[in-house]
Structure 1
């Protein structure tokens, strides 16, 4: 059954955190807005990424920190209660029900259409609803694509029959496998290896390249690899999977070095691809399955008349939830401004332009040790033509770090643009460093001169004293 066509000022495809933020901005500006969602309102982050993964990892970090404190270490010597950890994870996903998220949409007066939305020409969206019907939506001002990404899988014969884990299965599994092979060396791979090893699985990490977290400072991957090995995981570099076969309850994994492994489950964490294959891009002259290229207002550059926007992972600018939400806010504000004939690029505070995607992107890897970074690595800064000085410091020599836990191991680096004497990149590795990242983000995004940072006095005795030590080292 087909519903009568509906017209709104803005149609948002995808009700994850990016789409929610964008729609909230346009609706608050007085534009009628509808959100289309094919799965759960709240999206990947709420049910299969940020929230469940961090719920799995927080007990791991808490136990590791407790084990470094005399007087407490003996009390946490035993294994994690996996059932309790998984139950708490389930609670954070609302048991994969989106009633609370739908209630929020209702509270801010956003309409919701459930079903698979696809473009059908300029400003047109057709939604195939779960009951077999069709809803046609027309946008007066803008259609915003916020469909994110999905896990990429290698082209291996018989892979579907193996029923491999992707990030979704890794964050939602209800039982701990006895053994798990993790293929990949990025954030998903190291975080899930950390979590499932701590929950009792025997984990083997297979990395095609020569390092973990290759896009970050080299010492970050080295320290995370050391942490995984100390926890009992095996980490192997320079090896690729050539075959997979499920035999009963086990997966047999063939390797390019002639070796072979068996495990209960195999997780492929080898990258992401845009969720645009069935979005109807061909009806507006774009290639299905591709990334959507945008400007700093998240307006798609290859579409005439400026009615199409793409925010979040789907535009390939910064595949992180917080950056996607930021883009959603910027795009929503830009859509509203243009609908009202107001300026965009010279708006107060630059409020409609997503400039933070270019050089001040923060990221935390919730392993043991944690990794926190913002901006450029030393190699990236040099490749970009900056004249830089790299300042390193052993975080074990910071009073707050030694109080945080015995045998504290960590490292910090700041990358200084010598011509402007500002920071273009900062990286921390060590227990508890995730809470240092925003201070670094302010320094990098704000281009705060080092001469002013010297007067931002860190509280004593906290780990944030690392800022003083870095600046002292820089001054000599």
Structure 2
């Protein structure tokens, strides 16, 4: 039986980052992947959706200038050409990943893995069905997550779609019902709305973007309504059925919606099925999320990183966990994993960001909280884009910044600086001593940091 210093299952952002770091460190490493390299983020998530939003951003820009009566015009998107560009871009990225692994001597093994014992896995070759047992000193499980569906909302991949199906449509539907007002639903909806699709957004929680600060959610809702989205919140979906090539959505209160297509984006589940975790006594919780300790260990010498451990379902969180685990394996750290604030973004015409705590979260912890904010209506960059709606909101406790949220045009460009501010626990005096360039969107952050707290 061939053995390795490290075997990694899954080539998404976490698995790939771990493989690169391990290879560079000289560990004898194998990366096992049963599907396309790059995982969900590259193939069906972060990258394709941002490509689509970027390609159609001029449409939003034209509309903004039209509202100011400064310009008029239109833009026609060649959707099949955009699909081809997406496929080309994703394919090139997969090739680049494989080349990067080769350069650091990581062996790429194609097949589906399952645990055979606490120190070995079995890989089933997808091409010929042959099975090979491989031994390891250390193992990283980085198998990610996939869309989940409530009973009665399962996609048929023709009329009732998941996010992957929606990315592959050859033409824009006349109408689209989106079930779930999180990042996936909001970003997908903005793209198709730019192409002329009429959007109905349905969210079971009491507001759009329910994981964001309530004030941020309110601004997003106002912007979507201005774009003529039909929005229903606080009402859960009972069923979705395909009838006469239409998606018929029925809410629990009996209300029905009809659309040409429906997108179900209500959550995700861990990809742990078939891993035979019992062979290494690895525990799971909830829908199958792998339980990990403070060092991301799921068992002796077995780590779980990224979506599959359920801590934070974000690509950059997976990469950060991967780099920590390699340091832990190399005995460069024995400290528990503590990344600090994890930034999150929602992209599109009306972007939203968040890092650190919200006021509600700190209040629940019993801490005294104050708030300062700045409106983007006073920012010259927001004004120049005809997009003055939005704000930057800073949450303080004991004189230090504990969280920042923002919503508006282009606010995703503020996220890294916001993370630094929160992680370093900036005081007002710190903000006063930093020079912010003019004119920039960053000035709105400085204004929020120096605004009166209440």
* TM-score relative to the length of structure 2: 0.92
Moved more, 393-402 or 206-215: 393-402
User: Does the Cα contact within 8 Å between 1:390 and 1:415 map onto a contact in 2?
Assistant: yes
Please tell me whether residue 364 in structure 1 is matched to residue 321 in structure 2. Answer: no
Please tell me whether residue 331 in structure 1 is matched to residue 325 in structure 2. Answer: yes
Change beyond 3 A, Cα 1:175–1:66: closer
Partner of 1:219: 215
Please tell me whether residue 408 in structure 1 is matched to residue 402 in structure 2. Answer: no
User: Does the Cα contact within 8 Å between 1:31 and 1:336 map onto a contact in 2?
Assistant: no
Partner residue of 1:318 out of 312, 315, 319: 312
Moved more, 257-266 or 12-21: 257-266
- C-alpha separation between the residues in 1 aligned to 2:312 and 2:439? 34
Partner of 1:473: 451
Change beyond 3 A, Cα 1:93–1:161: closer
Counterpart secondary structure, 2:3: strand
User: Does the Cα contact within 8 Å between 1:312 and 1:325 map onto a contact in 2?
Assistant: yes
Counterpart secondary structure, 2:349: coil
Change beyond 3 A, Cα 1:407–1:165: closer
Deviation at 1:162, TM superposition (A): 6.7
Change beyond 3 A, Cα 1:161–1:397: closer
User: Does the Cα contact within 8 Å between 2:159 and 2:246 map onto a contact in 1?
Assistant: no
Q: How many residues align?
A: 450
Change beyond 3 A, Cα 1:439–1:39: same
Please tell me whether residue 169 in structure 1 is matched to residue 149 in structure 2. Answer: no
User: Does the Cα contact within 8 Å between 2:157 and 2:165 map onto a contact in 1?
Assistant: no
- C-alpha separation between the residues in 2 aligned to 1:150 and 1:398? 39
Deviation at 1:148, TM superposition (A): 0.7
Change beyond 3 A, Cα 1:399–1:247: closer
Deviation at 1:163, TM superposition (A): 6.1
Partner of 1:88: 85
Counterpart secondary structure, 2:212: coil
Q: Deviations over 1:207-246 (max 9, x none)?
A: 1122011111112222222222222321112222222222
Q: Deviations over 1:360-387 (max 9, x none)?
A: 1111100321111111111112122322
Deviation at 1:444, TM superposition (A): 0.9
Deviation at 1:157, TM superposition (A): 7.6
Deviation at 1:287, TM superposition (A): 5.0
Change beyond 3 A, Cα 1:19–1:76: farther
User: Does the Cα contact within 8 Å between 1:294 and 1:315 map onto a contact in 2?
Assistant: yes
Moved more, 131-140 or 383-392: 383-392
- C-alpha separation between the residues in 1 aligned to 2:90 and 2:412? 22
Partner of 1:454: 432
Partner of 2:415: 437
Partner of 2:334: 344
Change beyond 3 A, Cα 1:73–1:53: farther
Partner of 1:384: 365
- C-alpha separation between the residues in 2 aligned to 1:468 and 1:103? 42
Please tell me whether residue 138 in structure 1 is matched to residue 121 in structure 2. Answer: no
Q: Deviations over 1:71-96 (max 9, x none)?
A: 9963543454434443433333228x
User: Does the Cα contact within 8 Å between 1:55 and 1:92 map onto a contact in 2?
Assistant: no
Partner of 1:207: 203
User: Does the Cα contact within 8 Å between 1:326 and 1:354 map onto a contact in 2?
Assistant: no
Change beyond 3 A, Cα 1:248–1:99: farther
Change beyond 3 A, Cα 1:193–1:94: same
Change beyond 3 A, Cα 1:79–1:255: farther
Change beyond 3 A, Cα 1:438–1:98: closer
Change beyond 3 A, Cα 1:72–1:382: same
- C-alpha separation between the residues in 1 aligned to 2:212 and 2:441? 21
Deviation at 1:307, TM superposition (A): 0.5
- C-alpha separation between the residues in 1 aligned to 2:182 and 2:153? 24
* TM-score relative to the length of structure 1: 0.88
- C-alpha separation between the residues in 2 aligned to 1:67 and 1:217? 27
Two-structure CA RMSD over aligned residues (Å): 2.4
Which ranges of structure 1 fall in alignment gaps of 5 or more residues? 346-352
Counterpart secondary structure, 1:469: helix
Please tell me whether residue 426 in structure 1 is matched to residue 404 in structure 2. Answer: yes
